[in-house]
Homo-oligomer: A and B are copies of this chain.
């Protein structure tokens, strides 16, 4: 094992520094299976830290199944390439993570948030931790109604429900409104988290292909006539995974079709606050004169993914069913989180964060566009979206992105293979990349490396062989 060095002046916890360095040694193959780690006492003495620091670092290694600890004997490396084999994407063996779309922790305003939390605890004391209403903390719902005006959405407080993130929003809307066997129309491709929530409730899923300006509306109309879907689940702005935004014409047509066939549109919005320098995109909900849309909003990409909070707007007629579904799901969202977010809005901290994140994403977006144009081989087809976190690329016929994923992992590059986003979940020639979790200066070098890999992959990889291989890791 190479020497471990720690930085006691920085912000990074000591145990994490130790953990990450040893993990890297193992994953790079510099520590071999069954090799013994230094004893806790010895390493603590060498680094002049507390025993606890080493204990915690070794526990994280154990958690990731990289080491085994034998009581009284010490701690041993378990394997050096386990993660790679499992196809897992964990942050620290990855040098360029084009799979993870969450904003980099550097963008999190931890100090500001800490002040807000302390202010709430001093202000509301024990009331912060009593049972809360399932529909949410009223002042926060009011702050959200204000914020919605900026997105051109009119709303009544009774239509706004606080949720513990967008995933829960999809889950409780499904629980509250969907009956077993109901049909749900989704885009092809579409976000897998939503699909899983619908499937868990026994929905029948129908995919409608995406085009450059949204779903194919003829196919949608036919499917609606035939299946009478309960829900149409869409991401009309900066669609995941393709990055597409719907044209105004298709937005209006979608609303018309929902009205004609008595369907509910579920709009999943995570980023329409941003323009990326193009014209402003308003949510579908802003056009929803006939109350056909349930709008679900996540704050994960604008604020921090670990702050479990979001909201949904539902037509008033479903109010009771959604409150009941939320109540039977987890009673209510933590009061401390709701009260803090209310203050974040009221103090204007939210507006500042929007400006900051738009700049962060805009830079990342244009770096990625530049890097793709410069480094991605011409055999790979793609369309540059009008600003988004996601880019959707396609390998030439016969090549599978699952094989590319595996090759990329060996070089420390993470991508998301396309099959995740399709219902049939088979091999796909598509793959998704995103710059969200990368520092701006790492995007171009990362894409250069990805481009190099793609060239080699296209040259060396025997596609015939590939088609007959059942991959062991998925």
Contact = CB atoms under 8 A, between A and B. Distances in A.
Interface string A99-141: 0101001101010011001100101111111111000001100
Interface stretch (A299-307, A389-397, A422-430): A299-307
A124 B167 contact: no
Nearest to A131: B305
A201 to B, nearest CB: 8
Contact of A13 (B123, B168, B337): B123
Interface in A170-213: 171, 175, 180, 193, 196-197, 200, 202
Interface stretch (A223-231, A324-332, A363-371, A378-386): A324-332
B165 A127 contact: no
Interface string A74-110: 0000000000000000000000000010100110101
Nearest to A310: B330
Interface string A131-167: 1100000110010000000000000010000001101
A448 B329 CA distance: 38
A178 to B, nearest CB: 11
A274 B16 CA distance: 37
Contact of A196 (B16, B59, B168, B328): B328
Contact of A164 (B102, B127, B142, B164): B164
A237 interface: no
A307 B334 CA distance: 6
A12 interface: yes
B105 A130 contact: yes
A315 interface: no
B138 A126 contact: no
A129 B306 contact: yes
Contact of A330 (B132, B164, B196, B325): B164
Nearest to A171: B329
A167 B110 contact: no
Interface string A307-326: 11000000000000000110
Contacts of A105: 125-127, 129-130
Contacts of A59: 138-139, 142
A329 B168 CA distance: 5
A44 B88 CA distance: 59
A282 to B, nearest CB: 26
* Secondary structure class of chain A's binding surface, majority of residues: helix
A71 to B, nearest CB: 15
Contact of A328 (B113, B197, B336): B197
Contacts of A180: 180, 202
A451 interface: no
A204 to B, nearest CB: 14
Contacts of A242: none
B13 A127 contact: yes
Nearest to A137: B63
Contacts of A117: 117, 121
A130 B306 contact: yes
B13 A124 contact: yes
Contacts of A128: 110, 306
A240 interface: no
A60 interface: yes
Given A167-B331, A330-B164, A305 B130 contact: yes
A333 interface: yes
A61 to B, nearest CB: 10
Contacts of A60: 138-139
Given A165-B331, A168-B330, A306-B131, A63 B125 contact: no
A304 to B, nearest CB: 4
A335 interface: yes
A33 to B, nearest CB: 21
Nearest to A104: B126
A468 interface: no
Interface string A327-365: 111111111110000000000000000000000000000
A24 interface: no
Given A63-B138, A130-B305, A334-B334, 7 more contacts: A13-B124, A105-B127, A108-B126, A110-B126, A129-B304, A129-B306, A168-B329
9 contacts: A62-B138, A63-B139, A105-B125, A108-B126, A129-B306, A132-B306, A167-B328, A200-B328, A308-B333
